[in-house]
C-alpha cells in the first residue's frame, strides 16, 4: 500500500485500538463560547464607561460646582490712604482705618478670606503678579468727605460723597474677580451701614446742638420768632440729606488691568493649556500604537489594513524612551506651529521665547506622564491618564476656579497635576510679563519634577516587568497577545 494511504483523519483515532487496549484518544477539543456571548464582551466596556462617567462627574462637577462654598485663604488686599479729619466735636478721626479694622475683624472670623493690609504700591505689585484677586482702596480724603456730610446736611452746602474703589484682577481669572467682588461688596455693605449709623447720629447731635444754640441766641437777644418762622430758621436734616447719611459710601468696582483683546477675558492661557494637554495625551496614545506596531508588539489598523512589523522583542524601558523621545523632538515644531496659529487668530503672545519653552515643555510633560501610566498599567494606563491628567487636572488647574476656591482635595493634588503647572507658567508669560514670581519659575520647576517622577516610575516598573514576565511581543502566546 502506498505510504500516503496510511494517513487517517485524526478524529478517527478515538475509535482505533492497540494490542494492549484502547489507543490514546489524542487532544481533546473544548467547545469555546462565541465572543458575542461572552459576558466580558459586554461587561468590560460597560464598566469602562461607568468608571469614566462616574469619576468624571465626581471630580469635574464636584471640584467646580461650589466655588463660593469652598473659599480658603482667598487673597484680597485693603489699602487705607485716608489722612483723617477733624470731627465736629474737635476730635481727630480716621474713618478709613475704622473700615479697614472692621474688614479685618469680619474676615478673621473664618479662613475664607486672606485680607492683606498693604500700601498702594504693594497692592499694585501683587495684582501685576496675580497674587491677589482684588484690592479695596480708601482714598486720602475719605474722612474729610464723610464728615463733611454732617455739616452739609445742616447747612445745605455742596458736599463730596466719600468713595471707595475696589480694583479686581481679571487676568488672574474672571471667576476669581467675581468671587472677590462678592466678598468685598458684602464687607463694604456692612461698613456702609456702620458708617451711616455713625454719621446719622453725629448729624442728629449736631442738629440738636444747633437748635439749642439758636434758641439761646434768641433768648439772649430777647427776640421771639413766630412758630412758623422759627421752624424754618432752625437747622434740620431734610429727607435727601438723611438718605445720604444712611448710605454715605459710594463704591466703585473696576478692573485694575483689562484683559487684552484675544485673551478670552483672561481665560486664554487656561484654554491654551487645555489644548496642550489634549495634544499631549492624544498624541501620546497615537504614538504608543504606531510605535508598538512597528516594533511588532501589537497590530494597528490603518483603514482596511492591519499593520504589524517584525517582532524585535524590545525591553520596556527602551520602548518608553523611543516613544517619549519622539514626542520630545516632534513637540518642537508642534509648539512653533501652535503658537503661529494662535497668533494668526488673534491671541496676543508676548515674550515669544518663554512661551515657546512653556508650550514645548507642557506637551513633553503630559507625554512623559501618559507614557509612564501606559508602561505601568498597559492599556488601562490610557484610562487612568484620562482620570488623572484630564478629570483631576481640569478642576485643579485653577484656570476656571481659583485654587483658593476649590475643595481641599484639589488644593492638595494641584502641585502634582501637569495642567496646574502648565497653566501657572503659561498665564505668567501671557499676562504677568513672564515674571518668575508670577508662576513662570514654579510652573517650569513643577513640570520638570513631574517629568523626573514619571521617568523614574516607568524605568522601575519596566525593569521589574521585563525580569518577571519577559519582554513584550505579539507572538508570545496564541492569538498574538503579548506577555
Residue 54 lies in a domain: no
Domain final residue pick, 197, 230, 255? 255
Domain that holds residue 118: 69-255
Q: 249 with 271, same domain?
A: no
Mean pLDDT, the chain, as a whole number? 84
**pTM: predicted TM-score of the whole model, two decimal places:** 0.82
Residue 483 lies in a domain: no
- For residues 391 and 342, the answer to whether their CB atoms sit within 8 Å is no
**DSSP-assigned states of every residue in 45-58:** HHHHHHHHHHHHII
* Torsion from C-alpha of 422, 427, 429, 430, nearest 10 degrees: 130
- pLDDT value at 122 more than 50: yes
Q: 108 with 162, same domain?
A: yes
Contacts of 399 (CB under 8 A, 6+ apart): 173, 267, 269, 270, 271, 273, 274, 419, 423, 427
- For residues 63 and 411, the answer to whether their CB atoms sit within 8 Å is no
Residue 164 parent element (H or E): strand 163-168
Residue 234 lies in a domain: yes
Q: How far apart are CA 62 and CA 51, in angstroms?
A: 15
3-class DSSP assignment, residue 252:
strand
Q: 420 with 286, same domain?
A: yes
Instruction: Please report the pLDDT score of residue 3 as a whole number.
Output: 40
- For residues 287 and 328, the answer to whether their CB atoms sit within 8 Å is no
Which ranges of 114-173 would DSSP assign to H, the alpha helix? 120-128, 142-155
Q: 326 with 409, same domain?
A: yes
Residue 57 lies in a domain: no
Instruction: Please report the pLDDT score of residue 382 as a whole number.
Output: 93
3-class DSSP assignment, residue 374:
helix
Q: 245 with 218, same domain?
A: yes
3-class DSSP assignment, residue 21:
strand
Higher pLDDT, 396 or 87: 396
Half-sphere exposure of 52 (CA within 13 A, CB side): 14
Residue 444 lies in a domain: yes
Number of domains in the chain: 2
Size of the chain in residues: 483
Q: Taking the CB of residue 466, how many other CB atoms lie within 10 A of it?
A: 17
DSSP 262: T
Q: 282 with 246, same domain?
A: no
**DSSP-assigned states of every residue in 219-278:** HHHT----HHHHHHHS----HHHHHHHHS--EEEEEESSPPPTTSGGGTHHHHHHHHHHH
Q: How far apart are CA 264 and CA 244, in angstroms?
A: 40
Q: 165 with 268, same domain?
A: no
Residue 290 lies in a domain: yes
Q: 89 with 232, same domain?
A: yes
Domain final residue pick, 210, 237, 255? 255
- For residues 136 and 154, the answer to whether their CB atoms sit within 8 Å is no
Residue 428 lies in a domain: yes
Rg (CA), the chain: 37
pLDDT digits (tens, 9 = 90+) for 9-61: 333 333 434 444 444 444 555 566 777 777 777 888 889 899 989 988 999 88
- pLDDT value at 158 more than 90: no
DSSP 264: G
Q: 386 with 451, same domain?
A: yes
Q: 273 with 251, same domain?
A: no
Instruction: Please report the pLDDT score of residue 299 as a whole number.
Output: 83
Q: 443 with 465, same domain?
A: yes
pLDDT digits (tens, 9 = 90+) for 284-340: 999 999 998 888 888 888 888 888 878 888 899 999 999 999 999 999 999 999 999
Residue 333 lies in a domain: yes
Domain final residue pick, 255, 284, 319? 255
Q: 234 with 362, same domain?
A: no
pLDDT digits (tens, 9 = 90+) for 130-151: 999 999 999 999 999 988 887 7
Amino acid at each position: 500500500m502506498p505510504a500516503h494511504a496510511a494517513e487517517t483523519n485524526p478524529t478517527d483515532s478515538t475509535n482505533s485500538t492497540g494490542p494492549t487496549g484502547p489507543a490514546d484518544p489524542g487532544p481533546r477539543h473544548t467547545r469555546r463560547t462565541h465572543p458575542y456571548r461572552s459576558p466580558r464582551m459586554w461587561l468590560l466596556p460597560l464598566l469602562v464607561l461607568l468608571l469614566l462617567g462616574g469619576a468624571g462627574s465626581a471630580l469635574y462637577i464636584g471640584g467646580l460646582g461650589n466655588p463660593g462654598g469652598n473659599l480658603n485663604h482667598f487673597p484680597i488686599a485693603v489699602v487705607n490712604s485716608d489722612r483723617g479729619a477733624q470731627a465736629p466735636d474737635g476730635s481727630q478721626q480716621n474713618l478709613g482705618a475704622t473700615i479697614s479694622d472692621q474688614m479685618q475683624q469680619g474676615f478673621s472670623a473664618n479662613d475664607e478670606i486672606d485680607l492683606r493690609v498693604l500700601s498702594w504700591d504693594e497692592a499694585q505689585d501683587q495684582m501685576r503678579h496675580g497674587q491677589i484677586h482684588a484690592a479695596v482702596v480708601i482714598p486720602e480724603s475719605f474722612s474729610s468727605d464723610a464728615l463733611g456730610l454732617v455739616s452739609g446736611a445742616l447747612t445745605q452746602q455742596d458736599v463730596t460723597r466719600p468713595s471707595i474703589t475696589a480694583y479686581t484682577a481679571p487676568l488672574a481669572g474672571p471667576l476669581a474677580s467675581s468671587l472677590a467682588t462678592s466678598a468685598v461688596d458684602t464687607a463694604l455693605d456692612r461698613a456702609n451701614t456702620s458708617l451711616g449709623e455713625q454719621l446719622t447720629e453725629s448729624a442728629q447731635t449736631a442738629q440738636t446742638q444747633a437748635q439749642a444754640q439758636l434758641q439761646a441766641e434768641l433768648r439772649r437777644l430777647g427776640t421771639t420768632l413766630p412758630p412758623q418762622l422759627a421752624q424754618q430758621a432752625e437747622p434740620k436734616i431734610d429727607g435727601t440729606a438723611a438718605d445720604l447719611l444712611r448710605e454715605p459710601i459710594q463704591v466703585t468696582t473696576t478692573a485694575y488691568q483689562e484683559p487684552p483683546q484675544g485673551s478670552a477675558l483672561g481665560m486664554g492661557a487656561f484654554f491654551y493649556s487645555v489644548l496642550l494637554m489634549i495634544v499631549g495625551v492624544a498624541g501620546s496614545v497615537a504614538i504608543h500604537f504606531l510605535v508598538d506596531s512597528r516594533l511588532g508588539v501589537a497590530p494597528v489598523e490603518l483603514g482596511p489594513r492591519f499593520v504589524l512589523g517584525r517582532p524585535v522583542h524590545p525591553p520596556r524601558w527602551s520602548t518608553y524612551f523611543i516613544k517619549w523621545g519622539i514626542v520630545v523632538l516632534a513637540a518642537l515644531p508642534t509648539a512653533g506651529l501652535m503658537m503661529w496659529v494662535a497668533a494668526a487668530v488673534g491671541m496676543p503672545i508676548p515674550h515669544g521665547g518663554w512661551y515657546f519653552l512653556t508650550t514645548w515643555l507642557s506637551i513633553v510633560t503630559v507625554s512623559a506622564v501618559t507614557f509612564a501610566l501606559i508602561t505601568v498599567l498597559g492599556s488601562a494606563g490610557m484610562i487612568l491618564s484620562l482620570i488623572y491628567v484630564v478629570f483631576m487636572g481640569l478642576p485643579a488647574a485653577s484656570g476656571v476656579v481659583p485654587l483658593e476656591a476649590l475643595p481641599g482635595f484639589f488644593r492638595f493634588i494641584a502641585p502634582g497635576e501637569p495642567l496646574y503647572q502648565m497653566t501657572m507658567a503659561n498665564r505668567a508669560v501671557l499676562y504677568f510679563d513672564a515674571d518668575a514670581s508670577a508662576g513662570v519659575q514654579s510652573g517650569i520647576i513643577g513640570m520638570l519634577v513631574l517629568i523626573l517622577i514619571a521617568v523614574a516610575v516607568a524605568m522601575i516598573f519596566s525593569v521589574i516587568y521585563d525580569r518577571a514576565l519577559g519582554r513584550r511581543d505579539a507572538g508570545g502566546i496564541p492569538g498574538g497577545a503579548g506577555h
